[in-house]
Amino acid sequence: MSFYVLYGFKNKKMKILNAKQMTLADQATMKNEPIASIDLMERAAYSCFRRIEEEIVEDKYIHIFCGMGNNGGDGLVIARYLFEEDYMTGTYVVHFSDKMSDDFVSNYKRAEEVGIFPGSIHSVDDFPVIQEGDIVIDAIFGLGLNKPPRGIAKEIIQYINDSGAIVYAVDVPSGLYIDKAIDKNQAVIQSKLAITFQAPKLAFLLPDNESYVNDFYIMDIELDKDFIDKIPTNYHYITAETISKIYKKRNKFSHKGSFGHALIIGGSFGKIGAVVLASKAALKIGSGLVTSYIPKCGYTIVQTAIPEVMVEVDAEDQLEFFNFKVNPSVIGLGVGMGTSDKTSKAFGKFLKNNKTPLVIDADGLNILSKNKEYLDYLPENTILTPHPKELERLIGKWKNDYDKLEKIEKFSKRYTCILVLKGAHTLVVEKDQFYFNSSGNPALATAGTGDVLTGLITGLLAQGYSPLKAALFGVYVHGITAGFTKYSRNKETFIASDIIEALPEAMNRIIGNQDIILNPKGPDLDIDGDFPDDFFFDDDFELPF
């Protein structure tokens, strides 16, 4: 799965809103701007048309499927603009109900006025022929759907999915709920790109829905900014603007002691590279001092690979004692550590006596999952960084992604910890607050990238960032290193060391408040490229936490 970050979006305070909140934002906009609902629909649909137009190959036939509500009204507006630009189009209304919204009816009349006479779909006999490679614009259902499509609606969705067409969804792929899990075997449009209005939708960020939302683009339709700012939500979408406000600027009289001492504990015979990556990342992100605590077998490796890092050693091939001598500000541990009986017992004893802030990854998590009593020893606001299988071992199996979010929340509250669930939209959870990351791409799906993330978060904690801010900052900067053109053009050749190499440029862009462009239709920027003026942000931004 890949995805687009924001491009040309003026209000970058990203809350993830549910269907009811989006409806309320529409109503507030109509009241306070003021603007009529038909004109707001025109504005939204025209913006959507312009974005779709960037994707269209001119010789492709375009099929616009409209429902009978406001999403269908959006589709009719888009059909009108495509028709007026002389694209080859066919427009169809899917008659799944006898009810039509007022704005749909108004736009149906406007379509007829310019010469568009939509086909009516009542049964499979009315389906148009769709050739493989044709373009389909899906405007059948909007974000308010609360029951599975049935009858002709289900059949047309299945027909579109089987057609081999390139599908663009207006706001939400038809059949997809944005706030709850879909039913088994539910018919849902499989879109190449969902052009969603004003705010990300929670469903777009969850792995269960990958086949329905390959990519998404957040379209600013100028809903009431003040109203949206006041809407309470537990779900946030983290962008460059958020992270640039977290950044702690250094003063000229600071020294290495000002930026903490990070201790990286891990490694076992054959897995010392994990400690090398984590230690180098902690140092590169700005920790004043870094010490690696490893088995003796890795001493020469670490001293040679990272001369700036100090080293202490344990037993010959594995960790058995955890008897380091340094007094660190923060400890990152678990990378490459192994789960032998001696290591597990020593780890439990260490946890029982430790009061230093922790970041725990990899085998540290695996030991915790096998010894759940160790979880009660964790210091408050310990950061755990599991991938999905490690998370499952910690919290148990889940029925769907929404059940998973509930289990994560309960776990975070129970152990007063912060969870960083690694994935396409890496999720940071502090109790009942969920922060989805906007940076990253599949280039990061390679060995060692998790070790680097552990080092980044540990290094940020050492410098005095709060646990939540360290997690958010580390996750975001980790992701954008894979977004530079230098690396993202060939994702298969990206390796974990490239993250560390790219950190200086990533930090430059964060400090300069610059989003990384993953949108191939946006500016083509190389690693030294300049950003257009509209990528600098408003001064009135407030953090969502």
Which CATH number goes with the domain that contains 141? 3.40.50.10260
Sign of CA dihedral 522, 528, 533, 535: positive
Same-domain check for residues 302 and 421: yes
pLDDT tens per residue across span 216-237: 999 999 999 999 999 999 999 9
Q: Is 495 exposed, middle or buried (0-12, 13-18, 19+ CB in 10 A)?
A: middle
Antiparallel, parallel or unpaired: β 310-313 and 330-333: unpaired
In a domain, 489, yes or no: yes
Same-domain check for residues 210 and 317: no
Same-domain check for residues 354 and 263: yes
Same-domain check for residues 401 and 493: yes
Beta bridge partners, 261, equal 289
Same-domain check for residues 203 and 339: no
Q: What are phi and psi of 47, to 5 degrees?
A: -60, -40
528 vs 545: CA distance, rounded Å = 33
In a domain, 282, yes or no: yes
Our CA angle for 259, 387, 448, nearest 5°, is: 60
Same-domain check for residues 217 and 248: no
CB-based contact 297:277 (threshold 8 Å): no
What's residue 1's pLDDT? Answer: 40
> Whole-angstrom distance between the N-terminal and C-terminal Cα of the chain?
28
Query: For residue 524, what are its two tokens?
Result: 């083509």
Lowest mean pLDDT among 91-95, 274-278, 426-430, 488-492: 488-492
In a domain, 284, yes or no: yes
CB atoms within 10 A of CB 115: 9
Cis amide prior to 34 (ω within 30 degrees):
yes
What's residue 477's pLDDT? Answer: 97
What's residue 491's pLDDT? Answer: 86
Q: Please compute the mean of the pLDDT values over residues 443-469 and round it to a whole number.
A: 97
What's residue 488's pLDDT? Answer: 57
Contacting residues for 283 by C-beta, under 8 A, at least 6 apart? 262, 290, 306, 308, 309, 455, 459
Contacts made by residues 510-515, CB under 8 angstroms, sequence distance 24+ = 510/240, 510/243, 510/244, 510/247, 510/476, 510/477, 510/480, 511/244, 511/247, 512/244, 513/240, 513/241, 513/244, 513/537, 514/240, 515/5, 515/6, 515/7, 515/239, 515/240
Mean pLDDT of the chain: 91
Q: Does 126 have pLDDT greater than 80?
A: yes
In a domain, 169, yes or no: yes
Q: Does 532 have pLDDT greater than 60?
A: no
274 vs 277: CA distance, rounded Å = 5
What's residue 59's pLDDT? Answer: 87
Same-domain check for residues 325 and 382: yes
Last residue of a domain, one of 192, 213, 232: 232
Q: Give a three-class secondary structure readout of 402-415.
A: HHHHHHHHHHHHHH
In a domain, 134, yes or no: yes
Q: Please compute the mean of the pLDDT values over residues 440-461 and round it to a whole number.
A: 96
In the sheet where 427-430 sits, what is the strand order?
Answer: 235-238, 433-437, 427-430, 418-421, 383-384, 358-360, 330-333, 261-265, 289-294, 310-313
Domain count, the chain: 2
In a domain, 531, yes or no: yes
What's residue 542's pLDDT? Answer: 43
> Can you tell me whether residue 290 is helix, strand or coil?
strand
Same-domain check for residues 224 and 290: no
Q: Residue 29: which domain range? A: 19-232
What's residue 37's pLDDT? Answer: 98
312 vs 326: CA distance, rounded Å = 9
Lowest mean pLDDT among 10-14, 159-163, 164-168, 391-395: 10-14
CA proximity to 271, closest of 343, 339, 338, 331: 338
Q: Kindly indicate the confidence band of residue 58, based on its pLDDT and cuts at 50, 70 and 90.
A: confident
Lowest mean pLDDT among 7-16, 25-34, 39-48, 185-194: 7-16
Q: Does 2 have pLDDT greater than 60?
A: no
Our CA angle for 226, 240, 195, nearest 5°, is: 65
Last residue of a domain, one of 203, 232, 261: 232
89 vs 168: CA distance, rounded Å = 14
Q: Kindly indicate the confidence band of residue 512, based on its pLDDT and cuts at 50, 70 and 90.
A: confident
In a domain, 8, yes or no: no
Same-domain check for residues 346 and 495: yes
In a domain, 324, yes or no: yes
CB-based contact 332:264 (threshold 8 Å): yes
pLDDT, greater one: 459 or 511: 459
385 vs 74: CA distance, rounded Å = 42
pLDDT tens per residue across span 330-377: 999 999 999 999 999 999 999 999 999 999 999 999 999 999 999 999
The fraction of the chain above a pLDDT of 90, given in percent, is: 86
Lowest mean pLDDT among 6-20, 234-248, 285-299, 430-444: 6-20
326 vs 215: CA distance, rounded Å = 47
Burial 270-294 (b: 16+ CB within 10 A, else e): ebbbbbbbbbbbbbbbbbbbbbbbb
CB-based contact 177:145 (threshold 8 Å): yes
What's residue 536's pLDDT? Answer: 30
CB atoms within 10 A of CB 183: 12
Total residue length of the chain: 545
Query: For residue 69, what are its two tokens?
Result: 């509500």
Q: Does 54 have pLDDT greater than 50?
A: yes
Same-domain check for residues 258 and 375: yes
> Can you tell me whether residue 19 is helix, strand or coil?
helix
472 vs 514: CA distance, rounded Å = 16
What's residue 57's pLDDT? Answer: 80
Same-domain check for residues 425 and 285: yes
What's residue 131's pLDDT? Answer: 96
153 vs 175: CA distance, rounded Å = 9
CATH number at residue 436: 3.40.1190.20
- Going from the C-alpha of 468 to that of each of 235, 390, 545, the distances in angstroms are 14, 20, 9
Sign of CA dihedral 194, 198, 203, 207: positive
Q: Please compute the mean of the pLDDT values over residues 285-313 and round it to a whole number.
A: 98
Last residue of a domain, one of 207, 232, 257: 232
Same-domain check for residues 225 and 96: yes
Q: What are phi and psi of 62, to 5 degrees?
A: -115, 125
Q: Kindly indicate the confidence band of residue 7, based on its pLDDT and cuts at 50, 70 and 90.
A: very low
pLDDT tens per residue across span 129-150: 999 999 999 999 999 899 999 9
Q: Kindly indicate the confidence band of residue 13, based on its pLDDT and cuts at 50, 70 and 90.
A: low
480 vs 95: CA distance, rounded Å = 45
Q: Does 256 have pLDDT greater than 80?
A: yes
Q: Does 485 have pLDDT greater than 90?
A: no
